[in-house]
Amino acid sequence: VSEKNLRPGPAHGSSTAALFIALLALAPGTTAAQVGGVANIGRVFQEAVGAYGRGDYRVAADLFEAALVERPSDPTLLYNLGNSYYELDEQGKAVAYWLRALRIRPRDGDARFNLRLVIGEDPVVGSALPPVPLSRDELAALFSLFWFAGCAALVGRRRWRRGYLTFGGGAALTLAVLCAVLMLYPQSRYAIVASADAALRAGPVRQSEVLAMPLPGTGYRVQEVRGDWLRVSAGGESEGWVERDQVELID
């Protein structure tokens, strides 16, 4: 894969930190420590952006990792960290962080582009993405909207006796139930091969037969966890055991 084709990350969201700090400072009840903590994350982010721009990808990755400790669910940090690891030729970690970013922000076109560019149309990795391009927060907001709209329509139907209110209320409540199902839809665990030395083995011991040597970025569904070993499957006959420290887990 040509590096120049990768969509760069650190410009992605570089102004978000400053805006968030300003809004937090204006919020009632915000303490100086909270503002200072967010400001520090913003400074670390900007330092990481600078390091990435200079081509110092190891420093950039370390700084993005440091910021991620404070904000582990920040999709911008996850996306940029994936790009940094890609530039460090750590393809497995790059794929894992792009996937984590997309699980939080499913419509991130840059993350999807990079993921497809690196691994193509991998069906296992594709199944790790959300079933719809909506985050859980967005689904929760839609659930509330449809639920209250449906209830209001049905109450109005009893008062004003309009047939379209019955239809509209039923449709809204159906959509609310659909949103609830999608919110509660259990996400499987996935393992993304991160180590170039990873081996798919017949059993959970190093002495067992090596079935395959998967490339970094290869995705598996996790079937079982046994100590430091994972039983994984990619469908068909691609099933075996890998060591936990050779993969990135996607929960």
Pair 115, 102: CB distance under 8 Å: yes
Query: pLDDT in tens for each of the 251 residues of the chain?
Result: 334 355 665 545 544 444 443 433 444 554 444 434 456 888 889 999 999 999 999 999 999 999 999 899 899 999 999 999 999 999 999 999 999 999 889 989 899 999 988 888 788 887 777 767 777 777 788 888 888 887 887 777 666 555 556 667 778 788 888 868 776 766 778 999 999 999 999 999 999 999 999 999 999 999 999 999 999 998 766 789 999 999 999 98
Q: Which long-range contacts (CB under 8 A, 24 or more apart) does 57-62 make?
A: 57/84, 57/87, 57/88, 58/88, 60/10, 60/84, 61/85, 61/88
Q: Cα separation of 243 and 12, whole Å?
A: 34
**190-250: CATH class:** mainly beta
Q: What letter would DSSP give residue 147?
A: H
The C-alpha atoms of residue 137 and residue 126 are separated, in whole angstroms, by 21
User: So what's the pLDDT on residue 203?
Assistant: 94
Q: Is CATH 3.40.50.300 the right assignment for the domain spanning 3-120?
A: no
Question: How much is the pLDDT for 15?
Answer: 46
> What's the rounded Cα separation, in Å, for the pair 94 and 81?
7
What does the alpha-carbon distance between residue 70 and residue 84 come to, in Å, rounded to a whole number?
19
Q: What is the pTM of this model?
A: 0.75
* pLDDT value of position 88: 95
